[in-house]
Structure 1
Amino acid sequence: MMKPMNLHTDYGLITVTNEPTHSFNSTDNRRCYASEIPLTDSIGSNHGVSLNGELIVVVGAGGGATDVHAHSALVIEDTMLLAVGNHIACISIVHPYRLLWSLQVDVATCFGIYWQSQRGALIAHGELAISRFSTDGRLIWQAWGADIFTEGFDLLHDHIRAVDFDQSVYRFDYDTGELLT
């Protein structure tokens, strides 16, 4: 069983839990969330969110299955960004809790979401693409490699470093997403 992710915020403790057996619009779920948000018709992953123990929302999305880990979510001001399936969902953590926007950031799976505060850069580490997007859900750029990005990912001072399955190292420019030589 995967460990939940805890985020300490000004609004209290947010806990993100993997909910692989959750069925939307069912009364037979193990936990009953106040709100359900399916981002796609076909669901491969579900993540539940609680705030101070209150089960506020469960979000599901298609793409490859994802588990909850250290880069599944982050909080910026009064919003939580959640990587689930191949999407990023932005949820208000101020009542009423609601989906503000969602963005598909990879055709397969989003491995994690990252914030580079000095540059104000939100970065999604996808299986096939590295994406930068804005806090209002607008895709700024998306960059692809020759193979899947499974062997390393870092936000460095002057570039984003990703390593693909064949050990090829990519260095992407924060502003443009262009490959640096």
Structure 2
Amino acid sequence: MQEIDTQFGLLNVVNAPAYSFESQDNVQSYELEVLLTRDRLTSIYGIALNGRGIMVVGAGGGCSSVHDHSALVLDDKLYLAVGDHVACLSLSLPHRLVWSAQVDMATCFGIYWKHSRGALISHGELEISRLSLEGELIWQTSGADVFSEGFRLLPDHIEAVDFNRTVYRLDYATGEARVS
């Protein structure tokens, strides 16, 4: 579970793998169901605000699980990394999907915000991506192997480490990588 204090109250994001879309037989109910893909769903997250289930979001791609970088809130928007997508959801009424983007061919491990750079960054298994707050892909960079060994937003660059322990230093503006 991930908890985030927002201007609207306490937001909880939880794994909801047993949730069945368009069913009345779910243990937890949500006001809004959001399907980011019509493919086989591998990841389903439930979102509650002040204890009330407001949205459930499902996506395909590789299976993901809720952790500290699954979601972030900027103003009245929730940015959610689920499956192979990043979704932007409105926390203002009416709750709704604002946009979604497939950001990785496999799995999106997390979503990050670097305020000083105005950078929304997706840490994917195969790709690191920068998105605008409106959901437009600004750049996308891949490596020689999966980005599974570390990821940090540093003041001067983004650092991603692949399975072979190769370190990629990505430029915030262009996504250009220096490799060591």
Into which bin does the TM-score normalised by the smaller protein fall?
over 0.9
**Cα displacement (A) at 1:103:** 0.6
User: What is the CA distance between 1:27 and its match in structure 2?
Assistant: 1.4
1:25 counterpart residue number: 22
- Could you tell me which of 54, 57, 70 is aligned with 1:59? 57
Amino acid at match of 2:71: A
Q: Deviations over 1:72-126 (max 9, x none)?
A: 0000000000110000110000110000000111010000000000000000000
Alpha-carbon separation, structure 1, partners of 2:123 and 2:27: 30
> Per-residue CA shift, 1:11-57, capped at 9, x if unaligned?
11110010011111111212111110011012110001111111000
Residue 136 (structure 1) aligned to one of 134, 145, 153: 134
Alignment of 1:1-181 (within 5 A): 4-42=1-39, 43-180=41-178
* d(CA) in 2 for partners of 1:84, 1:9: 20
What percent identity do the matched residue pairs reach?
Answer: 57
**Which consecutive aligned stretches of 4+ in structure 1 deviate over 4 angstroms post-superposition?**
none
Name the SS for the 1:180 alignment partner. strand
Q: How many residues align?
A: 178
Letter in 1 for 2:117: R
Structure 2 length-normalised TM: 0.97
Cα shift at 1:152? 0.4
Secondary structure at 2:116 match in 1: coil
Local SS of the residue matching 1:56:
strand
Aligned-pair Cα RMSD in Å: 0.7
Query: What stretches of structure 2 of length at least 5 have no aligned partner?
Result: none
Counterpart AA for 2:110? G
How big is each residue's C-alpha offset from its partner over 1:143-175, in whole Å with a ceiling of 9 and x where there is no partner? 000000000000011000000001111111000
